[in-house]
């Protein structure tokens, strides 16, 4: 296994890695909408936060030798299922064509009080 580390996504804020490569698979940790340059939450709307979380996810995937186009499964966590349609609008800009399998669930709270978190499993390029 190989640990993924990139400064193009927020560093881990606990005892975990941004992601791991195992064989031909890349497993990302959940990416929240922190701006990797400032460490601050990117915006206060579901749209702005979804954009940043997905940009962070893309950066971790790329650092692990994968891409959004090689994602086979995502798990998406929303703080409010009322944001589902707005989240989908942003998500659909990042995943087009044959979209990966996905679970999307509402949770009580997310780290730092953010509105969204996304993790993925992908194949390496």
Evaluate whether 116 touches 32 at the Cβ level (below 8 Å). yes
Q: What is the pLDDT of residues 3-32, one digit of tens each?
A: 999 999 999 878 999 999 999 999 999 999
Q: What is the pLDDT of residues 109-122, one digit of tens each?
A: 999 999 999 999 99
Set 41, 48, 86, 104: catalytic member: 104
Q: What is the pLDDT of residues 72-93, one digit of tens each?
A: 999 999 999 999 999 999 999 9
Q: What is the pLDDT of residues 25-54, one digit of tens each?
A: 999 999 999 999 999 999 999 999 999 999
- Domains of the chain in start order, with CATH, are 2-123 (3.30.1330.40)
Report which of 36, 44, 41 is spatially closest to residue 9, judged by C-alpha positions: 36
What order of strands is seen across the sheet that includes strand 25-28?
2-4, 19-22, 25-28, 116-123, 71-78, 101-106
Quote the pTM value.
Answer: 0.97
Q: In whole angstroms, what is the distance from residue 30 CA to residue 23 CA?
A: 20
104 catalytic, yes or no? yes
């Amino acid at each position: 296994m190989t640990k993924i580390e990139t400064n193009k996504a927020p560093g881990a804020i606990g005892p975990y890695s941004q992601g791991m490569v195992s064989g031909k698979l890349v497993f990302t940790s959940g990416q929240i909408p922190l701006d990797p340059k400032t460490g601050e939450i990117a915006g206060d709307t579901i749209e702005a936060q979804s954009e940043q979380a997905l940009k962070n996810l893309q950066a971790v995937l790329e650092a692990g030798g994968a891409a959004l186009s090689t994602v086979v499964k995502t798990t998406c966590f929303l703080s409010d299922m009322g944001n589902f349609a707005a989240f989908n609008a942003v998500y659909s800009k990042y995943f087009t064509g044959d979209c990966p399998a996905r679970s999307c669930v509402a949770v009580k709270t997310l780290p730092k009080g953010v509105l969204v978190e996304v993790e993925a499993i992908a194949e390496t390029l």
